[in-house]
Amino acid sequence: MHAFTVHKGLVAPIDRENVDTDAIIPKQFLKSIKRSGFGPNLFDEWRYLDHGEPGQDPAARRPNPDFVLNQPRYRGASVLLARRNFGCGSSREHAPWAIEQFGFRALIAPSYADIFFNNCFKNGLLPIVLPELQVARLFEEVAAFVGYALTIDLERQRIVKPDGEELDFEVEPFRKQCLLGGLDDIGLTLRHADKIRAFEAERLLRRPWLANTPSMTTRT
């Protein structure tokens, strides 16, 4: 998982409330057994005019010119601005995978669905909660200024706007340290690899029969 320290990025607005995970990554793309390749299908039903299926070449499809992420001014955006209750619906972890693999590093919204919110932290995304009035003001400014970018400083828990105004945000300390260190659940476990190996070695000394693998016999 990539560490998150300070990030400056172009902002793309998704001006809808209650965006659910099926809109973020439609159900047909959950067939994949990999954890990669979901970025091209982020918001698939909104980004394209034709129906998408796994394995299609995005270059051969018909993009929706009216959808925000297809507009040239938002190309390369890495901060997603959303309305309340973003990420509601089913608990699919594919949703934050698709957002991160598209190129986003942070989200800003008044509120998120709980499971989606937790899954973001586990996948290197920073979901920031701001008051609704501040989010509404950001929507206005993003619409008014082409190239609108924000600087997000996780250590200071602060967003810096283009005019220098600063917005503070809260983040749970444990989640903050995981993002700063680039640690997902596996990374947290591997920090104790020496203790795990020592425990396994000591257990094997006390119970050597655990090293024996039962043989499989075939009856004829």
| Res. 11 pLDDT band, cuts 50 70 90 | very high
> Domains plus CATH for the chain?
6-183 (3.20.19.10)
Residue 34 pLDDT: 79
Rg over CA atoms, the chain: 22
Which range among 52-56, 70-74, 147-151 shows the weakest confidence by mean pLDDT? 52-56
The strand pair at 158-160 and 149-153 is best described as: antiparallel
C-alpha distance from residue 151 to each of 5, 7, 119, 161 (Å): 11, 6, 23, 7
Q: Does 155 have pLDDT greater than 70?
A: yes
Q: So what's the pLDDT on residue 195?
A: 67
Q: Indicate whether 200 pLDDT > 60.
A: yes
pLDDT at 191: 54
- Residue 82 CB contacts under 8 Å (≥ 6 apart), including other chains: 13, 14, 16, 19, 107, 108, 109
The model's pLDDT over 63-108, given as tens digits with 9 standing for 90+, comes to 999 999 999 999 999 999 999 999 999 989 999 999 999 999 999 9
Contact between 106 and 80 under an 8 Å Cβ cutoff? The reply is yes
Give 120-129 pLDDT, tens digit per residue.
999 999 999 9
19-48, pLDDT tens digit by residue? 999 999 999 999 877 788 999 999 999 999
Q: Are 89 and 21 in contact (CB under 8 A)?
A: yes
